[in-house]
Structure 1
Amino acid sequence: MNSVNMAEDGLVWQSEVQRLFVDQPTVREIPYLFRPCISLITGPCLRPVKKDNGPSISNNFMIQAHKTFSRRQALELYNNLVLPRRIEERMLKLLRQNRISKWFSGIGQEAIAVGVASALREEDYLLPMHRNLGLFTTRGVDLYRLFCQWLGKADGYTGGRDRSFHFGIPEKRIVGMISHLAATMPVADGLALASKLRGSGYVACSFCGDGATSEGEFHEALNLAAVWELPVIFIIENNGYGLSTPTEEQYACEDLVDRAWGYGMGGAKVDGNNIFDVMKAVAKARKLALGGQPTLIEAKTFRMRGHEEASGTFYVPDEKVEEWAKKDPLDRMERWLLDNEIVSGNDELDAVREKVDATFLPELERALKADDPVFDRREHEQRIFAPADFPERPSPSTSSERRFVDAIRLSLQQAFEEDEDFLIMGQDIAEYGGVFKVTEGFVEQFGRDRIRNTPIIEAGALGCAVGLALEGFKPVVEMQFADFISCGFNQIINNIAKGPYRWMPPLNITIRAPHGAGVGAGPYHSQSPEGWFMQHPGLKIVVPSTVEDAQNLFYSALHDPNPVLFFEHKKLYRSIRGEVPDHCIPEQLGQAKVRREGTDASIITYGMGVHWARDTADRYAEQNTAIEIVDLRTLAPLDLETVKKSVAKTNRVLLLQEPSTTLGPMSELASLITEQCFELLDAPVMRCSSLDMPVPFHPDLEKEYLADARLEETLENLLRY
């Protein structure tokens, strides 16, 4: 079905919604104390708090909107409203029959989804939530595949790998939700940034509920959109409740749209059960967004059923349900059609419903009989990582001595010179060059569009990277310190890592994370969190130990089509040097290296551990004890074959890591060696780790905390066993 495009059809409504956007200077130009709310509400933002029980509309249930509205357009709009309602009613029957597992009802909220999809253009991105079935149906998605998705069938959009509306359709410009609310809002920023950088002329429109507006990613997304003046629209479907928590227990402001003023962006409050108000607001917001002013729209509506069907509505007062039932968007549309003589009677309305049923019921019956998915382990595993295909490059003819930090800088610079799709985001990375000066001078060479300072928003920047990657960019995100990566954990684990397995194309995202202790930086600037991510498939984890690897593995990470976490040890930045080629050499990630041959014991390690192991092995060499050192280089994928060969050679294994002992990276490796190499061992697998405590600040304390303080003692115990 085609959406009703207001710009093309020239629709005009004499509507109170015209007051939504105040004709005035941009928010930034208005003195702080005199900025009015850009919303339907008159008066200043600073006003007494009054709890709101519904949209401020008159008893006249529908604002007249028929001046140039053709019969065809009106009936098409009504058809688009009826379709999701009829589908939902049928899905509720299937739920009661236990033929689907769960349903999040959008009954009573159809005017928002249908209105938004009708007002936007096909090239605009939609990022829906649970109750936005009308977006999918108005965009004309394949109904058979849609039903298969809900039924968990093999022909669903995720083939049974994910549920309900947790999917996207790139060809329809739809980016699906995840269960973590507000997490796709920064993704809309990335999609919008891609439009702005390329001059593509589309907007991204992201949905959330009233409950999600308390999430950090909501605020990070709004702030980033406003600061970068992105072509993005945020829609709040304020339906009165979180799951059961009413809005008056969720926020203290009178209206959620008031937050738009605080972020310096446009805002509108609309009657979400009036499709004309929604369309008018979205059409205006689209125009403003393309001009550099993102907009927050609060659509007042009501959830007529439970958060999901199992939760019920016992916590909702009966009188509130009765009040909102009178504002049902379909009933209002039908009365408008009749009052304006667009249809002659109920028979014509019945005919539309019958036509709608004939459209979807056969597809639903077909989906009910479709095949269930069959688990093919190889197929599922192949979805985790896309193949990395590096082009052949001539061997570099010259080389230079570089520090660890210089090697990272060179690979980043070379990639940026070769491919304009690379850009980097992070805190203080532009003119300042980053706290470790890796990008110093880059803004002069590559410009501020590609070297982008962000606010202090780890999650917002990472979510933005997802949107950019979906549009073919190759974003790099710098964590100022690896410790702060915890603030972006949700985006990394639940959006970035799982995305390609669920439905997304490969995401070429590289995350730089300066990690490690030994520089007296204390417990919040010294952590080594690389092990946190090993148990989450979909992420490659690289930890170089040499200048050559810092250069080549980072260049490889940048060109790998999969998400890569690249951990750079802060102490190594300026403490080691090496003669390396003047041009980067890419290689497949996931290959360990034997740094030193030996026969008496194997130290298996990575990163800073390689240097500790070398110093110790040098001392033992003086005693004619040959220690082999295996540098893992990547923790995911893990090169177990190289490890097994070393175990078979020396029969004794010491696993060395900088992170604390419990559940560190070497815990997993110890288990694998015990399982697969037990008969090759002459002694128990031993670990040498930093202590199970936060990293202390004072250098003397930090020295005793680190694994290096116990390495020789642990190795001696292994050799004597």
Structure 2
Amino acid sequence: MKFNRKSYSDSVLKKLYESLLFPRLIEEKMLILLRQNKISKWFSGIGQEAISVGITQALQKDEYILPMHRNLGVFTGRDMPFEKLFAQWQGTPAGYTKGRDRSFHFGTNEHHIVGMISHLGPQNGVADGIALASKLKGEKKVTVVFNGDGGTSEGDFHEGINVAAVWDLPVIFVIENNGYGLSTPSNEQFRCKQFIDKAIGYGIEGVQVDGNNVLEVYDTVLTLVEKLRDNPRPILLECITFRMRGHEEASGTKYVPKELMDTWAKKDPVENFEKYLTEQGVIDAAYIDTLRKRLKKEIEDGLAIAFEEKHPEASTERELADVYAPFNQVVIEPVTEKKSEKRFIDAISDGLRQSMERFDNLVLMGQDIAEYGGVFKITEGFVEKFGKARVRNTPLCEAAIVGTGLGLSVKGMKAMVEMQFADFVTEGFNQIVNNLAKTHWRWGQAADVVVRMPTGAGTAAGPFHSQSNEAWFFHTPGLKIVYPSNPYDAKGLLCAALEDPNPVMYFEHKLMYRTLKDLIPDDYYTVEIGKARLAREGSSLSIVTYGMGVHWATEILDTLPDVDADVIDLRTLLPWDKDAVLESVKKTNRVLVLHEDTLTGGVGAEIAAWINEHCFEHLDAPVMREASLDTAIPFAPTLEQNFLPKVRLKAKIESLLKY
């Protein structure tokens, strides 16, 4: 291994050596503790330390790094207290996730680190968002995100790089090429010979370094970041290395040929750099001995503190309280009485525009939303008013853009992501349910992202442009779901969602876009999230519904003059208004839950179960449900109408009243 110190001082070289040695000593101690059954699991980065260390030392302390399991040198390089790191690994309260997540699955804004989740790849979109925020703020900062060679097969990796390339984001995409994805060798993972070749396809620069040479990594990254701060753009950095332990210790290394292990053992990053510095007269045996003793004492002292901690005492109240970022909504009333007639779609556009005026840190992202104004023209004219920096066309990559929204949140910004159709959210599903929804509960980071979803049937658009998929998210703690049924609520709930620092799924029924209109306030105002609306009052039965269900129920009841019913418009599905439902059930004693989504596993199933459990003594009949057929949505209008619940609603109401 050849080292070239160039003009770096002895103090720089010593700092690199210390930063390299510390994680190695921690790792060695962890392996001992693992054999002693004092820790449960360990992902070793022995053999790969030079990458984490070289990169971290080349960055400014306030530049974000998004590491993975085997990047201990990133965490120690940011001077994180070892006892707190160990507490995190052990799942004790002093850790960064209060015992809720393991190993390096956490972030800390104090140290400008955002850890991974187990689904390899999503960190790339988050890195894009952090870099975008830095660029919009004119900070001249670089973001670094780590990937293993196996993880580069994930779609999130491709999407993250592609977005960064199109938007000229200052992100260094690091690939630790160690030849294996767990036990699967590279030739069974991909066909390319070297990852820098992939950079060509993205139109970006690719750089390859010896990942075991800490000085080469440090010098290369230091040179790159100085350029990127002044000329923002992404770079793919391939680091050739090898993992000397298993994927995690239980995996072992039997799948690795012995001659390959022997070859890479000779390239040990710590031993080789230590030998070089000794030969150069930068350090000597006494220095090494003193440093090792100091670092080992720091490790032992940290362990002594951390081992005093016990696993957290479970508190249901605390666990539930941390699902959402703290936010006490104060409902904002219109300042004046001035109103204008607006269609449902105009109300959404109005709320979005006024929120952009109110929050100068709000960024809109979506396919065709800039000059074109979106496929439904909701953001038409926004570019002229707010500029392309804040109204951003995106490539067709829903996952990366949702991740970008989370990255913007890390930097204290707000994001609105428009799905062209609710059906397409599947492409960003993982980012929503595993990243946005869990981030605050895991490590206290709010995900200030609203995902707008044009939804619903009735336009003969077929099975891929008509789905009602709110139930997919209804089951996910950490998300909020709103679903307005009229222009007033459409504007007020959208403004409220954009105020809220938590991730909100905002469903807007596209059949209502140009068919509903009403006089609504011109001023900015909000509607309370989590509060239902009594759309119609009666005593014969309660119809609990939302979205198009409100209009179907009203229309059918108009044909039944002898039936007076409460029609409860939930408006918010998560959290839903249990008090409003309870009060109505007490009065009417009969309940029908109605929704456009398919019947099995729909939102109505949960509501019906809750009513049965909490309102049983008030019921004179079983809680009934009406919903769409348990099929995909057909294209032909006649088939679509048969699919929807409206055609069966009158009979179900009559059946409930006769029970």
- The TM tier, using the shorter chain, reads over 0.9
Structure 1: distance between partners of 2:599 and 2:97 = 38
Displacement of 1:392 after TM fit? 5.2
Structure 2: distance between partners of 1:318 and 1:514 = 56
Alignment match, 2:652: 714
Contact 1:632 1:638 in 2 (8 A): yes
**Cα gap change, 1:138 to 1:248, in 2 (>3 Å):** same
Structure 2: distance between partners of 1:474 and 1:153 = 32
Contact 2:331 2:528 in 1 (8 A): no
Q: Percent identity?
A: 51
Alignment match, 1:601: 541
SS in 2 for 1:648: helix
Contact 1:66 1:340 in 2 (8 A): no
Q: Show the 5 A alignment for 1:487-636.
A: 487-620=427-560, 622=561, 624-636=562-574
1:289 to 228, 253, 261: 228
Contact 2:372 2:380 in 1 (8 A): yes
Displacement of 1:92 after TM fit? 1.3
Q: Is 1:705 matched with 2:640?
A: no
Displacement of 1:507 after TM fit? 2.1
Alignment match, 2:83: 144
Contact 1:189 1:224 in 2 (8 A): yes
Structure 2: distance between partners of 1:673 and 1:176 = 41
1:424 to 345, 364, 385: 364
Alignment match, 1:202: 141
Structure 1: distance between partners of 2:100 and 2:645 = 41
SS in 2 for 1:514: strand
- Deviation per residue, 1:230-273 (Å, 9 max, x gap): 11111001111111101111110111121111101111111100
**AA partner of residue 248 (structure 1):** N
Alignment match, 1:364: 303
Contact 1:168 1:503 in 2 (8 A): yes
**Cα gap change, 1:542 to 1:391, in 2 (>3 Å):** closer
Alignment match, 2:598: 660
Displacement of 1:393 after TM fit? 5.0
**AA partner of residue 439 (structure 1):** T
**Cα gap change, 1:371 to 1:401, in 2 (>3 Å):** same
**AA partner of residue 663 (structure 1):** G
Q: Show the 5 A alignment for 1:280-319.
A: 280-290=219-229, 291-319=231-259
Structure 2: distance between partners of 1:688 and 1:678 = 20
Alignment match, 1:478: 418
- Deviation per residue, 1:93-125 (Å, 9 max, x gap): 222222222110001110000000011111210
Structure 2: distance between partners of 1:252 and 1:292 = 30
Contact 2:331 2:525 in 1 (8 A): no
Q: Which moved more, 1:275-284 or 1:688-697?
A: 275-284
Structure 1: distance between partners of 2:153 and 2:147 = 11
Unaligned runs of at least 5 residues, structure 1 = 1-60
Tell me the TM-score normalised to structure 1 length: 0.90
Tell me the TM-score normalised to structure 2 length: 0.98
Q: Is 1:276 matched with 2:220?
A: no
Q: Is 1:398 matched with 2:338?
A: yes
- Deviation per residue, 1:105-149 (Å, 9 max, x gap): 001110000000011111210000000000111110111111111
SS in 2 for 1:99: coil
SS in 2 for 1:498: helix
SS in 1 for 2:135: helix
Displacement of 1:391 after TM fit? 7.1
Q: Which moved more, 1:150-159 or 1:213-222?
A: 150-159
Displacement of 1:276 after TM fit? 1.3
Structure 1: distance between partners of 2:337 and 2:579 = 32
Contact 2:86 2:303 in 1 (8 A): yes
1:453 to 387, 390, 393: 393
SS in 2 for 1:184: helix
Contact 1:465 1:477 in 2 (8 A): yes
SS in 2 for 1:401: strand
Contact 1:423 1:450 in 2 (8 A): yes
Structure 1: distance between partners of 2:288 and 2:13 = 12
Contact 1:421 1:473 in 2 (8 A): yes
Unaligned runs of at least 5 residues, structure 2 = none
Alignment match, 1:72: 11
**AA partner of residue 364 (structure 1):** L
SS in 2 for 1:171: coil
SS in 2 for 1:161: coil
Alignment match, 1:5: none
Alignment match, 1:691: 629
Q: Which moved more, 1:465-474 or 1:581-590?
A: 581-590
**AA partner of residue 504 (structure 2):** V
Contact 2:342 2:519 in 1 (8 A): yes
- Deviation per residue, 1:434-487 (Å, 9 max, x gap): 001000010111100010000001001000000101111111000000000011
Structure 2: distance between partners of 1:112 and 1:586 = 49
1:381 to 300, 314, 320: 320
- Deviation per residue, 1:167-200 (Å, 9 max, x gap): 1110111111111111111100000001111101
Aligned pairs, how many?
657
Contact 1:288 1:294 in 2 (8 A): no
Q: Which moved more, 1:428-437 or 1:672-681?
A: 672-681
Q: Show the 5 A alignment for 1:195-274.
A: 195-274=134-213
Q: Is 1:166 matched with 2:121?
A: no
SS in 2 for 1:476: strand
Structure 1: distance between partners of 2:581 and 2:331 = 28
Structure 2: distance between partners of 1:530 and 1:476 = 18
SS in 2 for 1:718: helix
**Cα gap change, 1:292 to 1:76, in 2 (>3 Å):** closer
Displacement of 1:361 after TM fit? 1.3
When the two chains are superposed, the root-mean-square deviation of aligned CA atoms in Å is: 1.2
Structure 2: distance between partners of 1:498 and 1:456 = 25
Q: Is 1:135 matched with 2:70?
A: no
